[in-house]
Amino acid sequence: MKYLVISDIHGSCTGAEVFEDACRLHNPDAVLCLGDVLYHGPRNPVPENHDPKAVARIMNQYSERIFAVRGNCEAEVDGLMLEFPYDAAYNSFMLGSRRLFITHGHIYSPAHMPRLSPGDIFLYGHTHIPDTGLRDGVYTLNPGSITFPKEGHPKSYGVLTESEFIIYDDHHQEYRRIAFTQED
């Protein structure tokens, strides 16, 4: 399986268009959306090309392939616009022999992870900072934000397979990569 991983669009049509281009470029089997799709939140500025209706239209084109979790900026009313379930705090399933735990990052985080085994994958958003780390043998992965990157990082998204996680910038250039070891 190949997953496109996106987080923190925050209602930016520009970010949603990068997502759409990434879907065409990478042709993923499914999309993992880590939350904060439509609303920009009270602490963020209004994003470039803010258009939640257009974002919903773009995302809904891929609704049958999207597995999503709720972000801290999601509202119940967003469900009127989105044609895919997005209101779970987390989801967990197998990626080959590894458990994949997906969450936004405001409840569970690298500092507060659920019980996972060495070699498992903890995939989160929320921080707007790309991550390809290893914590107590668990891979901590964050695609960054396609709209509001922080700490000088580019706007970014990820591609996840059973063997690696690659982060791409908004121009679809590889930015960071981590390969999963066989020993895990």
Could you report the per-residue pLDDT of 112-159, keeping only the tens digit for each? 999 999 999 999 999 999 999 999 999 999 999 999 999 999 999 999
Q: What are the distances in angstroms from CA 140 to CA 7, 24, 143, 163? A: 15, 26, 10, 14
Task: Extract the tokens encoding 52.
Answer: 């939640």
Q: Given this model, what pLDDT does residue 183 score?
A: 59
**Which residue segments constitute the domains of the chain, with CATH numbers given?**
3-89+144-179 (3.60.21.10)
**Contact (CB, 8 A) for 78 and 85:** no
Could you report the per-residue pLDDT of 8-45, keeping only the tens digit for each? 999 999 999 999 999 999 999 999 999 999 998 888 88
Q: Given this model, what pLDDT does residue 155 score?
A: 97
Rounded-to-integer distance, Cα 69 and Cα 82, Å:
12
The model's pTM: 0.95
Rounded to an integer, the average pLDDT of 60-67 is 97
Place of tokens 């891929």: 62
Closest alpha carbon to 15 in 23, 79, 165: 23
Rounded to an integer, the average pLDDT of 71-90 is 91
Q: Which residues, other chains included, contact 108 with Cβ-Cβ below 8 Å and sequence gap of 6+? A: 89, 90, 101, 114, 122, 124
Positive or negative CA dihedral for 114, 178, 16, 41? positive
- Residue ranges of E strands in 9-128: 30-33, 66-68, 90-95, 98-103, 121-123
